[in-house]
Amino acid sequence: MNISLVIFILTAINFAFQVDFVVFMPLGPTLMERFSLSATEFSMLVSVYTFAAGFTSIFFSLISTFFDKKKMLLSALFFLGVCSFLTGFAESFNQLFLVRFLAGVFSGVLNPLIFAIASDIIPESKRGKALGWIMSGFSLASVLGIPFGLFLSDQFGHRFTFLAISIYFLIILVASIFILPKEEKQKQKIAKNVLLKNFRRCLNFSDYLKGYFLIFFVSGAIFIVVPLLSPFAVNNMQVDVTDLKLMYLCGGILTVFTSRVIGVLCDKVGAKKVLYVVSVLSIFPVIIFCQAGITSVITFIILGSLMMAAMSGMMVPSMTISTMIPELGDRTTFNGILNSMRSFGSAIFAFLGGLIVSMDVNKTFIDFYKIGYTYIGIILLVILFNTLIFLRKSKCAV
């Protein structure tokens, strides 16, 4: 088995479902105009995806032991591709809401499988660097997926964007069939009562809870800002909608580089220390961006890129800490619950973001600064949580 090739395909799979999710948000101005959506309604479309992913991950973590990881991953890839295709051809808010809910359902299966397979294959001593690569699927989605998706939308309409994504899902599905290793068959079936006992243990074990809540708050901090970033840039900063892809391109390139550096630093100096530093540094570009008025494209690109790199950078040490926690037999269940907490954090705070801001008759946000202050509050919680909860010696204390 070629571990490097497996890491490559896991990164490509992560890119596949990340681009389906993240391209939806910069298309916000287009979709809000096309479907006459308010900020709250658009936030609901983002939240329903992540809520569905969260609940699916919890359910999947209960039954995952009975299924082959590779077969489940391939099935989730196929159905997520179908949902991406249907997203482009939705004709109303209700249809869009339903399709994004279903997309969230299948992403809730796919995401924990990626990290469970990675945890099974990659040694702990090299896991920070490997996860830096795999998690760069988000960065690559920004570098390649979002600019190309926005280009297709600018030229041909948003339907072509999701059509292209669905075709990519098909390609990566075929590649995964041949590259991913087969899972060794279990020698015996696990009884339902044993499985439920294991699930309850994963929910109650104190070390596991530390990982869950860390991911919940870090994800929440990111998604209080990200869903409404593009509408704010277009409506308040007066950035042309066709220039959005430039920021995502530059920000994605920067994030690809910083993710690698942060991953290496996690292995060398410790993920906990790296999380402290990156969390504090992320405050500055976010608070400046959220209080910006009419600005130049260059300023928008610089602020947006720094913000993307800093916020994405927090996830690398957070996931490195979390994936060190579970025991071998708990990895799939743990990662399913972990992904649920990540999704719930994203959904709750994305929806909260839509509630705390308001728009005037010209569709201009009049109190977007509240997003920035809320972000600071969540980051302070992350720092406080990281300090107090991880004081005791445990697998989390890295």
Q: What is the pLDDT of residue 272?
A: 84
pLDDT (average), residues 56-63: 72
**Interatomic CA distance for residues 104 and 109, integer angstroms:** 9
Identify the CATH homologous superfamily for domain 3-389: MFS general substrate transporter like domains (1.20.1250.20)
DSSP 98-159: HHHHHHHHHHHHHHHHHHHHHHHHS-GGGHHHHHHHHTHHHHHIIIIIHHHHHHHHHHH-HH
Show me where the domains of the chain are located: 3-389
The SS3 of residue 365 is strand
Share of the chain above pLDDT 90, in %: 27
**Interatomic CA distance for residues 168 and 181, integer angstroms:** 21
Mean pLDDT for the chain overall: 83
Q: Confidence class of residue 143 from pLDDT cuts 50, 70 and 90?
A: confident
- How does pLDDT run across 87-117, given as a tens digit for each residue? 998 988 999 999 999 999 998 888 778 877 7
Q: What is the pTM of this model?
A: 0.77
Question: Among 120-129, 184-193, 199-208, where is mean pLDDT lowest?
Answer: 184-193
- How does pLDDT run across 257-266, given as a tens digit for each residue? 888 889 889 8
- How does pLDDT run across 347-365, given as a tens digit for each residue? 899 999 988 988 888 788 8
Q: Taking the CB of residue 92, how many other CB atoms lie within 10 A of it?
A: 9
Maximum mean pLDDT: which of 54-68, 166-180, 194-208: 166-180
pLDDT (average), residues 127-133: 70
